[in-house]
């Protein structure tokens, strides 16, 4: 971890940044100008822009980001690919066989700390930049807010996967600072919350930005994250408070549910009204591997998840991140969200030998970037312009509903659930589909059944968006769902899938191991069981 943090001091200055928005499309001076760098509003903008970039990395030669962990470690998706050996380290994540030398986890860990290092550089440098015609006091404050937000987001990504990690809030400009103690998960969450509270004070509202600057962190994103983080802390009253702000304040004009659910996942609707925060990508026929950890421009996830078939048109994919039978069957009859989330090849396409993975023909429709059932050719062999949606309004509404329920605000919990179901109901494929709570799936008007209903709704509404694994862990039911012999998924999934499963070990598999190479660089206690 340490040498990577130190290296980011130079990297944040030297990289060339490119994205689908102009604010990430600027050349940045080289290392030799470091001493004279932070002298203008333009340089302040650039150092903060650099802090966003590791979010877009699809890490080194593994190509898997957080959505991949969040899906395949859960009951929503299988690794996929050509066969069991294709992406063997992803297979280990899928089946709780991961060890301390997993390269996916190593690249994930390092990329987040690269992002944190860039945020620290921005937080140290931007306050000293003098105001000029390109930098107002309000804009300087907002840049600070963006850096606080991004640092909190990177730490949130880390703590959910690994538990507590070293807390770095300064530029590590000397080898004497390389070794840092590992914080507890609670200390890490405290740090995240403090950063988000700072961010919320400084950040601009979404409707303040010009269209060309959409994609930056906003006050709404900070409010949404505070709701989410407090929920992970099981601090339901604070989660409810921040969720209520998102619901009640001026956000109706900035964040709303799209009229049609599937429209969220069209290229034309990137950074749209339901988008709270998303990773920015662009199509670039000349893009290369970028900054050493992966792609900074086009998204690799698209070609990764497209089905391994040529009969659907466009470019054939690699077939990873296969939705499960279990997820497919979770949707109620007539729920059109299933078709938006899960692609089902026809019989002719399924005859292609490479389509099937452990008897599952499905593909992730949300990340595959399809138009009218076909897959358009990409400008560069494996680079897609398709942004990845990290936070949507429906996600925040369901988080708010959950917080409302657990803090005793039952009416608000029912309101949030109905808001999300009502949108899905309007586009349902059959009459009288998706009735209001209670009365469907055997739910009665009780607190326990309302909790079950909200959890069901999170699964189908956010299917294949990388949330499911983390939800199961924070609800404390990962074993009850995922264990091969005792979990609902393990008991009910196809026998071909079951044959590859491993037992879920309570007290171990809720977290992934700290990579061995990082412990060698910075000795610290490993997670239990590894």
Spans of the chain below 50 pLDDT: 1-20, 26-32, 289-295
Structure confidence at residue 165 (pLDDT): 97
Q: Smallest Cα–Cα separation from 305: which of 293, 317, 314?
A: 317
Measured between alpha carbons, how far is 495 from 500 in angstroms, rounded to an integer? 9
3-state secondary structure 71-116: HHCCCCEEEECCCCCCCHHHHHHHCCCCCCCCHHHHHHHHHHHHHH
CB 189 within 8 A of CB 233: yes
Two structure tokens written together for 353: 């030998």
Measured between alpha carbons, how far is 82 from 308 in angstroms, rounded to an integer? 8
Measured between alpha carbons, how far is 419 from 275 in angstroms, rounded to an integer? 16
CB 291 within 8 A of CB 53: yes
**Sole residue written with tokens 């077939």:** 319
Structure confidence at residue 62 (pLDDT): 57
Structure confidence at residue 487 (pLDDT): 92
3 state DSSP class of 206: helix
Measured between alpha carbons, how far is 33 from 95 in angstroms, rounded to an integer? 48
Q: What is the pLDDT of residues 451-490, one digit of tens each?
A: 999 999 999 999 999 999 999 999 999 999 999 999 999 8
Q: DSSP letter at 436?
A: P
Structure confidence at residue 452 (pLDDT): 98
Phi, psi dihedrals of residue 391, rounded to the nearest 5°: -135, 125
β-pairing, 77-80 with 320-323?
A: antiparallel
pTM (two decimals): 0.92
Measured between alpha carbons, how far is 174 from 178 in angstroms, rounded to an integer? 7
Sorted by sequence, the CB contacts under 8 Å of residue 462 that are 6+ apart come out as 392, 394, 395, 398, 468
């Amino acid at each position: 971890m340490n040498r990577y943090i130190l290296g980011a001091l130079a990297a944040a200055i030297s990289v060339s940044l490119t994205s689908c928005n102009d604010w990430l499309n600027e050349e940045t001076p080289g290392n030799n100008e470091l001493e004279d760098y932070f002298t203008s509003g333009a340089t302040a903008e650039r150092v903060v822009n650099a802090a966003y970039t590791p979010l877009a990395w699809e890490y080194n030669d593994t190509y898997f980001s957080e959505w991949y962990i969040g899906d395949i470690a859960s009951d929503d998706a299988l690794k996929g690919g050509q066969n069991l050996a294709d992406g063997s380290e992803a297979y280990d994540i899928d089946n709780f066989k991961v060890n301390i030398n997993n390269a996916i986890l190593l690249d994930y860990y390092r990329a987040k700390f690269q992002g944190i290092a860039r945020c620290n550089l921005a937080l140290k440098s931007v306050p000293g930049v003098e105001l000029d015609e390109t930098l107002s006091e309000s804009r300087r404050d907002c840049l600070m807010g963006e850096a606080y937000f991004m640092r909190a987001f990177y730490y949130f990504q880390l703590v959910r996967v690994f538990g507590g990690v070293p807390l770095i809030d300064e530029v590590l400009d000397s080898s004497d600072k390389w070794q840092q103690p590992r914080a507890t998960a609670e200390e890490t969450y405290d740090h995240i919350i403090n950063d988000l509270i700072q961010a919320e004070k400084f950040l601009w509202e979404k409707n303040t930005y010009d269209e060309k600057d959409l994609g930056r962190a906003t006050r709404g994103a900070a409010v949404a994250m505070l709701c989410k983080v407090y929920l992970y802390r099981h601090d339901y009253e604070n989660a409810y408070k921040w969720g209520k702000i998102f619901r009640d304040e001026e956000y109706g004009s900035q964040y709303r549910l799209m009229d049609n659910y599937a429209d969220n996942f069209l290229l034309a609707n990137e950074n749209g009204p339901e988008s709270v925060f998303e990773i920015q990508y662009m199509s670039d026929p000349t893009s290369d591997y970028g900054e050493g950890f992966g792609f900074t421009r086009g998204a690799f996830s698209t070609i990764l998840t497209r089905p391994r078939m040529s009969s659907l048109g466009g470019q054939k994919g690699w077939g990873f991140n296969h939705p499960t039978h279990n997820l497919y069957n979770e949707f109620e009859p007539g729920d059109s969200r299933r078709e938006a989330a899960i692609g089902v090849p026809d019989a002719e396409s399924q005859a292609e030998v490479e389509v099937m993975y452990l008897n599952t023909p499905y593909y992730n429709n949300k990340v595959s970037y399809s138009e009218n059932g076909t897959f358009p050719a990409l400008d560069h062999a494996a680079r897609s312009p398709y942004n990845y949606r990290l936070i949507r309004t429906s996600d925040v509404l369901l988080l708010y509903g959950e917080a409302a329920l657990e803090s005793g605000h039952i009416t608000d919990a029912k309101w949030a659930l109905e808001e999300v179901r009502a949108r899905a109901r309007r586009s349902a494929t059959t009459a009288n589909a998706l009735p209001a709570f209670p009365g469907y799936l055997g739910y009665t008007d009780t607190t326990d059944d309302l909790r079950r209903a909200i959890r069901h709704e999170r699964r189908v509404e956010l299917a294949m968006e990388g949330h499911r694994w983390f939800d199961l862990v924070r609800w404390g039911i990962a074993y009850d769902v995922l264990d091969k012999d005792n979990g609902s998924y393990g008991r009910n999934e196809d026998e071909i899938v079951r044959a590859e499963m491993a037992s879920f070990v309570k007290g171990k598999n809720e977290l992934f191991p700290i990579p061995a190479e990082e412990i060698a660089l910075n000795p610290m206690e490993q997670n239990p069981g590894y």
